[in-house]
Amino acid sequence: MVRVIKDRIVVLSATAILGYGFPVESFEEGLSRKPDVLAVDAGSTDPGPYYLGAGVSFTDRRAVKRDLALILKAGCSRKIPVIVGTAGGSGADIHLEWCLEIVREIALEEGLRFKLAVIRAEIKKPLLREKLAAGKIVPLSPGGQLDSESLEAATRVVGQMGIEPFITALQGGAEVIIAGRAYDPAVFAAYPIWQGFDPGLSLHMGKILECASIASLPGSGSDCMLGTLMADRFELEPLNPVRRCTTTSVAAHTLYEKTNPYTLPGPGGVLDLQQTTFEEINERVVRVKGSRFIPARDYSIKIEGARLVGYRTVSIAGARDPVFIAKVREIINGVRERVTDNFQELTGKYKLLFRLYGLNGVMGELEPIKKPQPHELGIIIETVAETQELADTICSFTRSTMLHYGFEGRLATAGNLAFPYSPSDFKAGEVYQFAVHHLVLVDDPQELFPVSWELRGG
């Protein structure tokens, strides 16, 4: 169903992720521009696989409720549709229910009445087994083919929905849409495409708006951005007067999270940016033209799943002895040998990691500065093992061994390390890794994403 009612669509993005916050003044400025839709991304895989695997949110409940209350009250009072994607941070059923509980709580407390569409994104194992057996789950580079063991080990699997389930909800009269895992730009592009606007421009604008004012200078993930879409272009404007969009800031964010500067694959096709242009139309607003969407022959959905691989214990320490720092790699090798010798019966049941902040703690072996001269080091000892008890044991022994390890030129007798905390070891709990990071081929873009309805407030 194509509708062309207006010559432009105004989309207000409140914040980069629901719960990251935004200034009320920026939000009110955005509302004064009479937006057609309020949209917000609520999650990401950026924090890693733990939150999907464990079924918890990486954003704080109080912070999410604060943001949602402002957005829902504004949407309901002004009759502006509210769209939230990747609810609860990872978008599985447990995350979706967590977010819906907050929505229902706000509706009750504020006396709000609205038609709510709920779109689920968790995919049940029997259906995935059928897809796998039929050869309809394919690798997503650089990963390999999905095997049955990895699929079964995943605690839950979600799919990144495209625009179609959102459009179905809008066609059904949804005033608020709370969706599970979603392709980030789809949350912002669905309404304009439903209204008949160009898919390429809509999706490109959505890619920028999903991070809100990160695409401005100075950038912020906790501030509002306005997108105005017209027939042949869109314009971006931060709503805080201290920020501005530039061709560089918008073009740079267009390159964000992409392996190819000219293409961005997503559900159902590819965003082609080869002919895209960026123009500063004043000191704060950038105009974008030329982005195109090229439909794929086969419609595919990215699927994500995480499995439990062990339990983690960490110890944080510092070192300032120049002799220790010069010999730290040699010392680490000696400590590893001592741990291995002391627990020979546990070989293969744990992993022992050292992170050296000041040498290569961020980039590891990719660090281009090969011989830095730090005057101090931050050292993280990390153990991942089959049980929390075993992780505790290996971390404790490693920490004490490194503390008192003897090396040539050592002058200290009290110990090599300084500990900022007591206790020195921290139980970090469950450790997950991505087991499913693939594409599933579908005949219908909506077959994995059922829509259900509620009437809040009556």
Q: pLDDT tens digits, residue range 399-409?
A: 999 999 999 99
pLDDT (0 to 100) of residue 258: 83
Going by pLDDT thresholds of 50, 70 and 90, the confidence category of residue 413 is confident
Q: Per-residue pLDDT tens for 267-325?
A: 999 999 999 999 999 999 999 999 999 999 999 999 999 999 999 999 999 999 999 99
HSE, CB side, 13 Å, CA atoms: give it for residue 345: 1
pLDDT at 122 over 70: yes
Burial of 133 (0-12, 13-18, 19+ CB in 10 A): exposed
Tokens 């459009």 belong to 167
**Residue 317 CB coordination number (10 Å):** 20
Cα separations in angstroms, 117 against 343, 398, 414: 55, 52, 63
Q: How confident is the model at residue 2 (pLDDT cuts 50, 70, 90)?
A: very low
| Alpha-carbon distances, residue 223 vs 40, 201, 235, 314, 388 (angstroms) | 12, 23, 17, 34, 40
Please choose, from the candidates 405, 427, 408, 426, the residue with its C-alpha nearest in 3D space to the C-alpha of residue 417.
405
Q: Is 145 helix (H, G, I), strand (E, B) or coil?
A: coil
pLDDT band of 1, cuts 50, 70, 90: very low
Q: Which residues of 147-171 are buried (b: 16+ CB within 10 A; e: fewer)?
A: eeebbebbbbbbbbbbbbbbbbbbe
What integer pLDDT is reported at residue 256 of this predicted model? 85
215: closest CA among 247, 243, 249, 244?
249
pLDDT over threshold 50, residue 357: yes
- Mean local confidence (pLDDT), 222-233: 97
Q: What is the mean pLDDT of residues 417-425?
A: 96
Region 54-74: what's the mean pLDDT?
A: 98
The residue-averaged pLDDT of 355-381 equals: 93
pTM: 0.94
| Residue positions counted in the chain | 458
- Residue 211 — very low, low, confident or very high, per pLDDT cuts 50/70/90? very high
- The residue-averaged pLDDT of 184-201 equals 97
d(CA 55, CA 95): 6
Going by pLDDT thresholds of 50, 70 and 90, the confidence category of residue 5 is low
What is the CB neighbour count within 10 angstroms for residue 426? 14
Q: What pLDDT is recorded for position 373?
A: 86
CA distance 434 to 350: 19
What does the alpha-carbon distance between residue 187 and residue 47 come to, in Å, rounded to a whole number?
20
Mean pLDDT for the stretch of residues 90-109: 98
Structure tokens at 93: 């059923």
Nearest in space to 24 (alpha carbons), one of 34, 14, 33: 14
| pLDDT for 458 beyond 80 | no
Using pLDDT thresholds of 50, 70 and 90, give the confidence band for residue 126.
very high
Kindly report the average pLDDT of the chain as a whole number: 96
Average the pLDDT over each of 60-69, 140-149, 237-246 and give the range with the smallest value.
140-149
Mean pLDDT of 61-89: 98
Q: Read off the pLDDT of each residue in 341-370 and give the average, rounded to a whole number.
A: 94
pLDDT over 80 (residue 347): yes
